[in-house]
Structure 1
């Protein structure tokens, strides 16, 4: 269900950016949404890891969070200019003010927050503690969640997704954004000019 504080831009977006806490479904919903729209899906963390030749945790360990956030912001700024794109952000990208400002003010961009309760995050991410060491420290995890939640909620749209399937989340985003999908378009008739 979409929140009441929607500020959907008047024109249909040319790109959709998904934000939210870990386990909110960004990397699951993103490809489904892109498939509905016939757009490309990109996960920012995957791009950073590929370009750096290292895992996010390794980049943090080697260079620190500040250097990682600089790299992350530059990557988002570069990618968020493409049309026909669904972009999934890392959970902490929203903490950086210039990244939020960029995404909230970029013409053609719809920033969508996939909101989940912390218990949903824990259930969905159970067993990924090796990939997400932050999950092992639950006290700090709760503090991080509370710190980020108001920042996520500055998005153009916030969707409560705890009880929705990824398919339902994708369909809701398409509807809220006012976008037609391939299934919504009339079938093309063959023209005879082959």
Structure 2
């Protein structure tokens, strides 16, 4: 039998949806948080790729961004209708009002808010980011950051994603934000 963690036991009532920029830690923090809570971790991009049997880049190339965004919304709605879990979304998912509305209605959005320099350090050595395949990827990232931050700031809650924090600490920070501000989503049980 697994040993109990020294902090409070909790019960998740709604899906926690992590939103934010590429490199903010949505997948890594999401996996850690799900393990801490004892719930399933899902990634909307992975679910789309599994359903289509192709990569997101291939979907974009074959069917276009509008098609992809429509499928992304359908997948997010389907996942939110299931058992409460931790859900990581692609960086662009929260930009669609349709997605923001369904996430707030059926779950809770948490913006992993990272500074531009932290994001750049995390993504600069990866070539898996199609949006950054430009002449000046750092400038491109800065443009995307500037455009998206005001939308991410409308999330139900935000948690700072700092480069020096461990994944375990980030997971605990998300839990604490939920316990403090959204007991309807995450309840402390004895």
SS in 1 for 2:64: helix
After TM superposition, list the pairs within 5 Å mapping 1:146-185 onto structure 2: 146-162=146-162, 163-178=164-179, 179=186
Contact 2:12–2:187, Cα closer than 8 Å, also in 1: no
Residues 48, 75 of structure 1: 8 Å contact kept: yes
CA deviations on 1:10-42 (whole Å, 9 max, x unpaired) are x96421010010000011011111111110000
User: 1:110 Cα shift?
Assistant: 1.6
Which deviates the most, 139-148 or 81-90?
139-148
CA deviations 1:48-95 (Å, max 9, x no partner) are 001111111111111111110000000000001223300000000011
Contact between 2:17 and 2:87, CA under 8 Å: does it hold in 1?
A: yes
Is the 8 Å Cα contact of residues 16 and 110 (structure 2) preserved in structure 1? yes
Alignment partner, residue 110 of structure 1: 108
Q: How high is the TM-score relative to the length of structure 2?
A: 0.83
- Match status 1:133 vs 2:134: no
Distance 1:56 1:165 in 2: 29
What is the alpha-carbon root mean square deviation over aligned residues?
Answer: 1.9
- How far apart, in 2, do the equivalents of 1:136 and 1:12 lie? 39
In structure 2, the gaps of 5 or more residues are 1-10, 180-185
Partners of 1:115 and 1:158 within 8 A in 2: yes
Q: Determine the structure 2 residue equivalent to 1:73.
A: 73
Aligned-partner Cα distance in 2 for 1:133–1:72: 17
TM-score (norm 1): 0.81
Structure 1, gaps ≥5 residues long:
1-10, 186-194
State the Cα distance separating 1:161 from its structure 2 match: 1.0
Secondary structure at the aligned position of 1:23 is classed as: coil
Give the C-alpha shift of residue 180 in structure 1.
5.8
Local SS of the residue matching 1:45:
helix
Report the counterpart of residue 87 of structure 2 in structure 1: 87
State the partner residue of 1:19. Answer: 19
CA deviation profile, 1:124-174 (whole Å, cap 9, x unmatched): 112212x11322433333221111111111111111112422211110111
Aligned partner of 1:31 in structure 2 is: 31
Equivalenced residues, count:
170
Aligned to 1:189: none
